[in-house]
Amino acid sequence: MTKDKLASEMGHDHKMAMSHMDHDMADMDMDDMGGDMMMHGGHMMHMGNLKQKFWVSLVLTLPILLLTSFMGLTQPLITFSGSEWVVAVIGTVLFFYGGKPFFSGAIGELKSKAPAMMTLITMGIGVAYIYSIYSVIANNIFHVTPMVMDFFWELATLIDIMLLGHWIEMNAVMNAGSALDDLAKLLPSSAHKLVEGATQEVPIRDLQEGDHLLVKAGEKIPADGTIVEGTSNVNESMVTGESKQITKHVDDKVFGGSVNGDGTFQLTVTGTGKNGFLAQVMKLVNSAQQEKSAQENLADKVAGWLFYAALFAGILAFIIWLFQTDLATALPVAVTVFVIACPHALGLAIPLVVARSTSIAAKNGLLIRNRNALEQVKDLKYALMDKTGTLTEGDFKVNAYDTLSNQLTKSQALQIFASLEAGSSHPLAVGIVNAAKADQVTFTKAQNVQQLTGVGLSGDVSGQTYQIVSMAYLVQQNIQFEQAKFEQLAANGNSISFLLQDGDVLAYVAEGDAIKPEAKHLIAALKQQDITPVMLTGDNAQTAQKVAQTLGITEVRAQLLPEDKEKLVREYQTKGKVLMIGDGVNDAPSLARANIGIAIGSGTDVAIESADVVLVKSNPNDVVEFLNLARKTTRKMTENLWWGAGYNILAIPLAAGVLAPIGFVLSPMAGAVLMSLSTVIVAINALTLKLGQTEI
């Protein structure tokens, strides 16, 4: 697919089988964009203002630390008559104020019958609070001996550390999802709307399709539209990936978020912030962040297993310590087990990495629709790819044409070709139409034009029905033609189309297509990663072999119909996992069937719906960038799983007291510190994911 065709089709229909966005992109704040990401952190949607809760809780903690024994102290730093009741009151306020987010989360987990991290935290601080209130009553009203030790300092510090950890995690989550915010910022906040010849400044949220706008020099274009007056150079790097200026004239399409050059023009809005090009990108990124990968599902299962393991270990440790010592000793051990085993870090391990990965991808023109694609890369064996528009520019030029019948002159043959192709945007059709214009051949659009899938097309010109077909079709139908005459043209890299009427071959046209400069690097990179490149094309075998030989591809399948490509994908899948690269139109069945489907060029709904990854720039090198990013993402996932699950596996026995015989027992505070540290490490590790130099 050529860049012009990409831009044309993108501008033609921006809905692309999508519903309208819920909000204008310019109005989306970080809460809107981070909502899904916040859900990945357990129940962070219900956490409220964590920063405020943390600081208030920290202030409430200070008098508790001064008025209670902690960190090995035998006496409080400050003591006076009734100080224990003061601590009880402050501790109660802290418990209900600072602990409220965890209570809400626990209720949600229990309602969904999936107890996990929030339930564990609630259990820990709940046990500590109840036991501490009991100790105050027992010591000051019933005057029991020996005195019962309270756990207010453990309660306070646990709440503080958990709030701090969640606050840091939320910041990390928000940063990981910031690509959506960056996309929204590409649009300006307002537009110059023309009403009865006068200009009004209006917010872009109020724009509607059909509005008439004025775009001044140097401004960002506020919405997708069609130029109705004026000429300018426009930077469409956000669409094509290239920073060069593109000259725009009347009737040309422009995209919201592009930067206008030195000219001033007027446009009619065809797509707003709700259904324009950027809205489609936003939708793709958002849907990618909502989907779960296979490895994330595994992480969720591991978290569930850890919960029940922690529950069992905590109860067992409590019973053993209770029988061997007393309640005052057994309770902190159980609390520590519950705190240390919270699978919060594990719950964030995969979502944070994938969110970061999809954000990086979006910024680099890689729209990842299916997260599973990231995890399939490590097992890839074959890369099947279309030729035209993928490895070649898709910008065909007519190198030769002639009549093969006494019924037509050479000029008449080109006229019929051009008439039949006049309504098509296919690269071959564009090449024929351009050749007719260059040779000043007059033509009109044919009537009753119908596409013949995998063959060509048919239509009526001047009351006569004609077909345009490929060489493969003539061979399959046993239609006689001088095959040897055209093999030389095909061997030189030309795609040959024939004009057919009632089974008679009337004329031919030979078109050549230039190989993309980046295609050779793609093939070399695939080979170095032990991925076998395979060319699949509907073109003739000679042309396909010429392109393959130039690029270094040894496996070629030519003269294929769309269903043939899909069958070949299944055939190669019996040998290993398959990556399919195509333009997303004729290759749709193959893209959907492959383990990873990559559409080069976006703008048609079939490309969006069929592919796992869409490359906006139409640059083959971006396939290598995707493979590089996917491998780095998988590595980060594995690292975070070890930090999340591996840390818990080691920490639970320590918290239960297996080293108690040598005098080492983890306190609830130490458990909380270590658990939060694990979570912070997971978040930081995810945010260090970058798309640097290509790894081969």
Q: At what angle do helices 327-340 and 152-176 cross, to 10 degrees?
A: 0
Residue 398's pLDDT band (cuts 50, 70, 90): very high
Evaluate if residue 286 carries a pLDDT over 80. no
- Residue 562 or 608, more confident: 562
User: 210 or 566: which carries more pLDDT confidence?
Assistant: 210
Q: What was the pLDDT predicted at 473?
A: 87
CA 662 centroid distance within chain = 50
Q: How far apart are the first and last CA of the chain?
A: 27
% of the chain beyond a pLDDT of 90: 25
- Count Cβ neighbours within 10 Å for each residue of 196-213 and write b for 16 or more, e otherwise: eeeeeebebeebebebbb
Q: Which is more confident, 2 or 616?
A: 616
Confidence of residue 659 (pLDDT cuts 50, 70, 90): confident
Burial of 545 (0-12, 13-18, 19+ CB in 10 A): middle
Mean pLDDT lowest for which of 86-90, 601-605, 690-694? 601-605
Does residue 662 register a pLDDT over 60? yes
Q: Average pLDDT of 226-241?
A: 74
* Residue 696 pLDDT level (bands cut at 50, 70, 90): very low
pLDDT the model gives residue 671 = 59
Do strands 596-600 and 613-615 pair parallel, antiparallel, or not at all (unpaired)? Answer: parallel
Task: Give the angle 97-101-107 at the CA atoms, nearest 5°.
Answer: 120
Position 451 scores a pLDDT of 73
Q: Comparing 282 with 350, which gets the higher pLDDT?
A: 350
d(CA 367, CA 389): 18
State which amino acid sits at residue 480. Answer: Q
CA-based max dimension of the chain: 120
Instruction: Judge whether 134 and 646 are in contact, CB under 8 Å.
Output: no
Judge contact between 332 and 114, C-beta under 8 A.
Answer: no
Average pLDDT over residues 666-687: 72
pLDDT of 539 higher than 90? no
- For 135-157, the DSSP string reads HHHHHHTS--SSPPPP-HHHHHH
The predicted model gives 343-353 an average pLDDT of: 67
Residue reference for tokens 């159980």: 334
* Cα distance between residue 658 and residue 667, in whole Å: 13
Q: Among 241-255, 491-505, 571-585, 675-689, which is the least confidently predicted range?
A: 241-255
C-alpha to C-alpha distance for 201 and 250, rounded to whole angstroms: 23
Q: Rounded to an integer, what is the distance from CA 10 to the centroid of its chain?
A: 19
pLDDT digits (tens, 9 = 90+) for 451-480: 776 678 899 999 999 999 988 888 888 898
Across the chain, mean pLDDT equals: 77
Q: At what angle do helices 621-641 and 294-324 cross, to 10 degrees?
A: 10
- Residue 253 in contact with residue 226, Cβ under 8 Å? yes
pLDDT at 287: 52
Mean pLDDT in residue range 376-400: 86
* Least confident segment among 12-16, 403-407, 447-451, 574-578: 12-16
511 with 421: CB under 8 angstroms? no
- How many other C-beta atoms can be found within 10 angstroms of the C-beta atom of residue 606? 19
Nearest to 386 by CA among 205, 548, 212, 502: 548
Q: Which of 102-116, 331-345, 354-368, 574-588 has the lowest mean pLDDT?
A: 331-345
For residue 690, what pLDDT is reported?
86
The token pair that represents 295 in the structure block: 């490895």
pLDDT of residue 280: 65
Q: What is the pLDDT of residues 27-44, one digit of tens each?
A: 333 333 333 333 433 444
CA distance 64 to 456: 82
- Answer yes or no: 29 catalytic: no
- From the CB of residue 20, how many other CB atoms can be counted at a distance below 10 Å? 12
Distance CA(661)–CA(663), nearest Å, equals: 5
State the DSSP string of 325-350. Answer: S-HHHHHHHHHHHHHHT-THHHHHHH
The model's confidence at residue 295, banded by pLDDT at 50, 70 and 90, is very low
Task: Give the pLDDT confidence score for residue 370 in this predicted structure.
Answer: 76
Among candidate residues 386, 539, 583, 622, the one labeled active-site is 386
* Residue 205 binned pLDDT confidence (cut-offs 50, 70, 90): confident
Is 166:677 a contact under the CB 8 Å cutoff?
no
- Give Cα separations from 313 to 340, 654, 656, 679 (angstroms): 11, 11, 7, 21
What would the two tokens of residue 291 be? 């989907």
pLDDT at 156 over 60: yes
Find the helix or strand (DSSP H, E) in which 106 lies: helix 83-111
Report phi then psi at 460, rounded to 5: -105, 130
Torsion sign (Cα): 484, 485, 486, 490: positive
pLDDT reading at 87 higher than 90 = yes
Whether 403 and 551 have beta carbons less than 8 Å apart is answered as: no
What are the tens digits of pLDDT across the range 630-656? 999 889 988 888 887 777 787 788 888
> Phi, psi (5° rounding) for residue 248?
-115, 135
Quick check: 56 pLDDT over 70? Answer: yes
Spatial strand order of the sheet with 504-512 comes to 397-403, 504-512, 494-501, 464-470, 456-461, 447-452
Lookup: tokens for 677: 């540290």
pLDDT at position 42 is: 41
pLDDT exceeds cutoff 50 at 215: yes
- pLDDT value for 20: 30
CA distances from 17 to 68, 121, 280 (A): 64, 44, 10
In 139-284 the beta strands, taken as DSSP E runs, fall at: 190-195, 198-203, 212-215, 224-229, 232-235, 245-248, 253-254, 259-260, 265-271
Higher pLDDT, 105 or 617: 105
- Comparing 143-147, 386-390, 574-578, 672-676, which segment has the lowest mean pLDDT? 672-676
Give the SS3 label for residue 384. Answer: strand
Mean pLDDT of 217-244: 76
> What's residue 22's pLDDT?
35
pLDDT-based confidence at residue 154 (cuts at 50, 70, 90): confident
State the amino acid at position 343 in one-letter form: P
Task: Give the CA distances from residue 657 to residues 148, 264, 673, in Å, rounded to whole numbers and listed in that order.
Answer: 21, 75, 17
* pLDDT classification of 436: cutoffs 50, 70, 90: very high
Residue 344 pLDDT > 80: no
Residue 88 above 90 pLDDT? yes
Nearest-angstrom CA–CA distance, 193 and 199 = 5
3-state helix, strand, coil in the chain (%, to 5): 55, 15, 30
For position 574, what pLDDT does the model report? 94
Q: Answer yes or no: is pLDDT of 294 > 70.
A: no
Flag the least confident range among 116-130, 235-249, 592-606: 235-249
Backbone angles phi, psi at 195, to 5 degrees: -130, 110
Task: Kindly write down the DSSP assignment for every residue of 406-440, as one continuous string.
Answer: TTS-HHHHHHHHHHHHTT--SHHHHHHHHHHHHTT
What confidence score (pLDDT) does residue 454 get? 65
Are 184 and 277 in contact, with CB atoms under 8 Å apart?
Answer: no
Token couple for 373: 């694609």
The amino acid at residue 482 is: E
Query: What is the average per-residue pLDDT within 80-97?
Result: 94
Computed from CA positions of residues 272, 273, 279, 283, in that sequence, does the dihedral angle turn out positive or negative? negative
Tens of pLDDT, residue by residue over 481-519, are: 888 778 878 877 788 899 999 989 999 999 887 788 888
Residue type, 63: P
Residue 213: strand pairing partners: 193, 267
Tokens coding 309 = 């393991």
- The token duo for 72 is 């090995």
Which of 241 and 96 is assigned the larger pLDDT? Answer: 96
